């Protein structure tokens, strides 16, 4: 059987063992969220030996060449020496600059130790102590040096429980920055742009919407936001002030009626949708029925974190 080595800890595992499971069964507490190669919370550094990687394309080429791997996507097929991602060593320090509660949604603004280069719609793995979760950036690159995140704290969870205790001045760590499925393409400037979000799925679309306006989007922009209750429309005030944007705020029980009214003015319409799996599926189904081609619908699904 191949041998795993982490620091001074060595042990044998069955050939083909999932690397994340093998590490956690040994008590090393590697964080994870989705187990699908999407969240990047389970990043580890392979120092010797190579695991069988099911998703090498999930990491940037330079990162992969340096030996970084997503543990959830790897199987142990030979002796392997691994270093766990250490947020104190490998992460970027960031200070909490502002905290605002909107019902169950916590808006966190962070000032990183050094500027972070990113695009609207990307995700960052946030570390609070030893707990890591991926969150979409709601801030706009170049607007200022603050990074903004929207955290849904309605349900208890390891990360949310810690986030509730945050105070201005506390330090967090930034892990892997990755591209999400959502972005704004300047070639869309003359095409209708629809943005459909449920809950904090609004976070990346808030950044993308402002990026579209900054780039002078010339066609229709329509945004639909679904929330559990009126307090859940946590960006209602700034959204309604945006010039040239049609905003529809919908409660969950009104969603079917609102979706039935979606009728694109053009088959060139581009739609960006974000939220929990059920909401994204309903959005995508209705857009297809309304005549928006599948290739023009871009979706980002939020995985519920424990």
Out of 3.60.15.10, 3.40.1050.10, 3.20.20.70, 2.40.30.10, which CATH number does the structure's domain 91-178 have? 2.40.30.10
pTM over 0.85: yes
pLDDT tens digits, one per residue of 229-262: 999 999 999 999 999 999 999 999 999 999 999 9
CATH superfamily label, 3-85: Beta-grasp domain (3.10.20.30)
pLDDT in tens, the chain (306 residues): 999 999 999 999 999 999 999 999 999 988 887 788 877 889 999 999 999 999 998 888 888 999 999 999 999 999 999 999 888 888 999 999 999 999 899 999 999 999 889 999 999 999 998 888 889 999 999 877 899 999 999 989 889 999 999 999 999 999 988 877 799 999 999 999 999 999 999 999 999 999 999 999 999 999 999 999 999 999 999 999 999 999 999 999 999 999 999 998 899 999 999 999 999 999 999 999 999 999 999 999 887 655
Mean pLDDT of the chain: 92
The structural domains of the chain, with segments of one domain joined by +, span: 3-85, 91-178, 186-301
Query: How many Å apart are CA 283 and CA 277, to the nearest integer?
Result: 10
CATH topology for 186-301 is Rossmann fold (3.40.50)
pLDDT tens digits, one per residue of 193-237: 999 999 999 999 999 999 999 999 999 999 999 999 999 999 999
């Amino acid at each position: 059987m191949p041998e795993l080595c982490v620091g001074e800890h060595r042990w044998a595992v069955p050939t083909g063992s999932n690397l994340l499971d093998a590490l956690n069964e040994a008590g090393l507490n590697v964080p994870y969220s989705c187990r699908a190669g999407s969240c990047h919370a389970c990043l580890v550094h392979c120092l010797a030996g190579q695991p069988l990687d099911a998703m090498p394309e999930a990491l940037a080429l330079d990162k992969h060449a340096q030996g970084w791997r997503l543990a959830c996507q790897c199987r142990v097929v030979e002796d392997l020496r691994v270093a766990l991602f250490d947020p104190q060593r490998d992460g970027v320090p960031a200070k909490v600059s502002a905290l605002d509660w909107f019902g169950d949604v916590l808006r966190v603004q962070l000032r990183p130790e050094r500027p972070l280069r990113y695009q609207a719609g990307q995700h960052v793995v946030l570390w609070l102590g030893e707990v890591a979760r991926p969150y979409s950036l709601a801030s706009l690159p170049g607007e200022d040096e603050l990074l903004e995140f929207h955290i849904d704290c309605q349900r208890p969870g390891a990360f949310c429980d810690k986030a509730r205790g945050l105070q201005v001045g506390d330090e967090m760590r930034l892990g892997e920055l990755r591209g999400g499925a959502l972005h704004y393409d300047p070639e869309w400037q003359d095409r209708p742009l629809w943005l459909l979000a449920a809950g904090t799925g609004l976070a990346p679309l808030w950044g993308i919407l402002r990026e579209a306006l900054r780039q002078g989007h010339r066609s229709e922009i329509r945004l639909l936001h679904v929330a559990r209750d009126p307090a859940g429309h946590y960006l209602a005030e700034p959204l309604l002030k945006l010039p040239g944007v049609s905003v529809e705020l919908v409660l969950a029980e009104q969603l079917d009626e609102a979706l039935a009214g979606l009728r694109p003015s053009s088959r060139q319409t581009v739609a960006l949708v974000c939220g929990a799996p059920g909401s994204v599926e309903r959005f995508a189904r209705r857009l297809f029925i309304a005549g928006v081609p599948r290739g023009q619908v871009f979706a980002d699904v939020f995985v519920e974190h424990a």
